[in-house]
Structure 1
Amino acid sequence: MRARAFRRRIDRLNQDFDEGTSIQLFIFLKETDTLVGGITIGLIRRGVAQMCTLGYWMGEPYAGKGHMFAALQIVIPYIFQELSLHRIEAACIPSNRRSASLLQKAGFTKEGHLQKYLRINGQWQDHHLYALLKDDHRAKRN
């Protein structure tokens, strides 16, 4: 049963990619080919919005070692240059200081508080909303 559910998930990821609405990326350690985390460029919106939502996860043994920050240094320019998007949004639970610190270090600005935004572990959780604009990213790089 688990294999079937996983296959459905992969099929959905492929469909989202083909439709241009989501891209799932995985982070591997170069030395060992070990899967350590992932990044989702999701809810890609075109038209007047030209934006996406960034989601990410890191395996606990690999957290806090700079892997996600290094990955974002590749993914963020890809979003702005290759996908030609204008805005990236990311949200994190207020108590997740490590995630908030990562977003700020990557250039994101906190924009607000979202009440009961996402259902995490069976409970609706508040989140802080962060965003990074293409022009702000470009200015910080120059």
Structure 2
Amino acid sequence: MIALPFLKSNSLSLQGERLYLRAPQVSDYRAWASLRAQSRDFLTPWEPLWSDDDLERSAFRHRIRHYDDEAAAGTAHPFFLFHNSDSRLLGGITLGNIRRGVGQNGMIGYWTGAPYAGQGYMGEALRLLITHAFTKVRLHRLEAACIPSNERSIRLLEKAGFQREGLLRSYLKINGMWQDHLLFSLIEDDVRR
């Protein structure tokens, strides 16, 4: 599927009160690698194992090519979060696994750098992405999954209006182990109400 011109992710920016979302670019490498390295212990319990070269420039370039390919295919809208005042990188959020046809849904994933956790940045980013998903991408349903012990993520999703649907057994290999995940969803009608 070819992405519609106004949905072209690499030129897209979403503006919030304290932050903005912008598609990742090769020029973001230093800020990204620094924040990820600084946040490694904070992030690893919730993410797949990092490869040995995960923070290398070549791996980042490959990541950007993958993001661009998914955006061009209309299957994902990846974003980095930047602070409005100084364009400091705060984290990342992606609307991915976009499925059309009878489903019209997508999956949201996100990460925040350790220094910025618990300050409401991801809540603002999630609200921006939800609006974008339902109004511009024209999806009907959003999903997100998190490990049952990730209380911060559960609170974030519930505060954004997501409803818990159930348990996905042995769903994703996180930190080297197959982990159960709670499935949350948000339907466009939920937002309209």
Mark yes or no: TM-score above 0.5.
yes
One-letter amino acid of the counterpart of residue 41, structure 1:
L
Structure-1 separation of matches of 2:115 and 2:59: 26
Shift of 1:78: 0.7
1:20 to 54, 59, 74: 74
SS at match of 1:83: coil
What is the CA deviation profile of residues 42-76 of structure 1, one whole-angstrom value per residue up to 9, with x for unaligned ones? 00000000000000000111011000111112110
Deviant stretches of 4+, over 3 Å: none
Unpaired segments ≥5 residues, structure 2: 1-52
Higher strand share: 1
Moved more, 1-10 or 124-133: 1-10
| Structure 1, unpaired ranges of 5+ | none
Measured after TM superposition, the shift of residue 99 of structure 1 is 0.4
Q: Name the counterpart of 1:123.
A: 177
Identify the residue that residue 100 of structure 1 maps to in structure 2: 154
Aligned partner of 2:167 among 100, 105, 113: 113
Shift of 1:107: 0.2
State TM-score, norm by structure 2: 0.70
Alignment of 1:1-142 (within 5 A): 2-139=56-193
Query: What is the alpha-carbon root mean square deviation over aligned residues?
Result: 1.0
In the TM superposition, residue 5 of structure 1 has moved relative to its aligned partner by: 2.0
How far apart in 1 are the matches of 2:58 and 2:112? Answer: 24
Bigger relative CO (Cα 8 Å, ≥ 6 apart): 2
Give the 3-state SS of the residue equivalent to 1:88 in structure 2.
Answer: strand
Question: Within 2, Cα distance between the matches of 1:6 and 1:57?
Answer: 16
| CA distance in structure 1 between the aligned counterparts of 2:58 and 2:79, rounded to whole angstroms | 21
Secondary structure of the equivalent of 1:31? coil
How far, CA to CA, are the matches of 2:121 and 2:59 in structure 1?
A: 29
**What CA distance in whole angstroms lies between the structure 2 residues aligned with 1:13 and 1:131?**
24
Identical columns (%) = 51
